[in-house]
Structure 1
Amino acid sequence: MENKTSKYLKYAVGEIVLVVIGILIALQINNWNEERKQNKQEIIFLQNLRDDLNTQIESQDIYISFESIIIKNTKDIMLHYELNKGFKNMDSIYAKLNDLSVRWTFVNSNTTLIELINSGDINIISNKSLKKELIEFNEIVKRFASNTINNNTNLIDNYIVPNIINNSDYAATGYSKEMKEQFQKYFPMGFLQLDQFNHKELVDANLNEPNKRLMMINNVVFRSGMASMQKSGNEALKEKAVQLKNLINEELNRR
């Protein structure tokens, strides 16, 4: 009887051990499957992040090219102003002056990163250092976008644009050739411009009234500083985006 009981207990224990082993194996297989699924999802996220960064880099190049035109034009205007002791002989300068009313709206192209952070899926990124860099980059972009919007609205739209529209020869000269070429690259459009408008003396006399002349040259100098600051920000943002893209490529190459 004791032998039978002993054998039964051994058999029961063996059955339990087998069941436990089976459960552990099943759990391990399930974990492997989950890890494999998560790894595939992480790769997709990384690829999408890289695509967004490429778009952001291309956008920064556009912004930089516009700001470069503004910076060059302000230098030309200030040199002309000094050489002519005021806004005189302005045929080649009015278009450059009009360009200073142009500003570019910043667009945040990092849609994948924003979605990952808002949903909490950013934690799927297993490389902690890369995840930290991505979160910090998102904050940098948010601050830069906010500053750009504020500068565009409060300083350019509300302060500089009215002065140029009211006191420059916008109707007859429009924008410079360089600025029009930039527009045509990204937003093909026509520009309405008066071919014959005999008001040159009126515009020159209006602009050279002491108060208006002082306001305009101050606007030019101020716009130069804004463009330089904005361009530096765009260049720094582009550099950071390139660094992040390289980190993502390194991570993908390890898979």
Structure 2
Amino acid sequence: MKKKIKAFVKEIVTIIVGILIALWINNWNENRKDKKYIHHITTSINKELSETRDDIINNIATQKSLIDTLDFYKKEDKISLFDILKKVNGINIPSIKINSWKAISNSKIELMEYDKVSTMANIEEQRELLKMKSQNLMNFIYPNTNETGIDKKELLKLMILDIINTELAIQKQINGITTDSAN
């Protein structure tokens, strides 16, 4: 009976050791896959944010040109909002790219560091705010394209300045996260 117990314990220990080794290998493999996934998604997020930052910089320059043009023509009652917008080639709003962020936020968000998650969530909120402000701007411009009054020109200027402030906030968030990723 003693031999049977020893044999049984020996078999159980062998099975348990085998299971533990299999679990360790599985965990190691999953961690390796997760690290590879995070590396790819982080690279993709950084590329999108870099493109977004460049787009913001270019659009702010155009928007400042619109503000200067509005200031220059604000007292000209023969120059409409449409004429001013035509002089600066219209209004441009940057494209805030966060597709990679949305992919990870819907699947393996727990693999990312809290600071990056928080910053990306803030960028997403700012993106929605920018979208809302842009829509309000369009809702203002379309019925007022033929307006020539100083009050409409000033209101358009204020709306563009508000949009620029939101873009600068997004740019600041992007600079913070891309600087952290470089370290």
- Same fold per superposition (TM over 0.5): yes
Other structure's SS at 2:97 match:
coil
| Cα distance, 1:218 vs structure 2 | 2.0
**Which residue number in structure 2 is paired with residue 60 of structure 1?**
56
Match of 1:156 among 110, 133, 141: 141
State yes or no: 1:29 paired with 2:25.
yes
Q: Which residue of 2 aligns with 1:241?
A: 174
Deviations 1:165-221 (A, max 9, x none): xxxxxxxxxxxxxxxxxxxxxxxxxxxxxxxxxxxxxxxxxxxxxxxxxx5222222
- The structural deviation recorded for 1:60 is 0.4
Structure 1: segments with no counterpart, 5+ residues = 164-214, 251-255
Q: Quick check: 1:74–1:224 contact (8 Å CA) kept in 2?
A: yes
Residue identity matched to 2:175? V
Matched, 1:124 2:120: no
Q: Secondary structure at the match of 1:162?
A: coil
Which one is further off, 34-43 or 96-105? 96-105
How far did residue 101 of structure 1 move? Answer: 7.8
Q: Please report the TM-score for the alignment, with normalisation by the length of structure 2.
A: 0.86
Q: Which residue of 2 aligns with 1:224?
A: 157
| Contact in 2 for aligned 1:103/1:156 (Cα 8 Å) | no
Deviation at residue 223 of structure 1 after TM alignment: 2.0
The residue number in structure 1 matching 2:91 is 103
- Residue 100 of structure 1 and its aligned partner are, at CA, apart by 6.7
Residue identity in the other structure for 1:121: K
CA distance in 1, matches of 2:45, 2:130: 19
Instruction: Return the alpha-carbon distance in structure 2 between the equivalents of residues 97 and 135 of structure 1.
Output: 33
Q: Percent identity?
A: 19
- Tell whether the 8 Å contact from 2:46 to 2:178 is kept in structure 1 after alignment: yes
Larger radius of gyration: 1
User: Which structure 2 segments of 5+ residues have no match?
Assistant: none
The one-letter amino acid paired with 1:135 is A
Within 5 A, what are the aligned runs for 1:1-255? 5-78=1-74, 81=75, 87=77, 96=84, 98-99=86-87, 102-117=90-105, 119-125=106-112, 127-151=113-137, 153-159=138-144, 161-163=145-147, 215-250=148-183
SS in structure 1 at match of 2:4: helix
Per-residue displacement from partner, 1:219-251 (whole Å, max 9, x unpaired)?
22222222222222222211111112122333x
How far 1:51 moved relative to its partner? 0.5
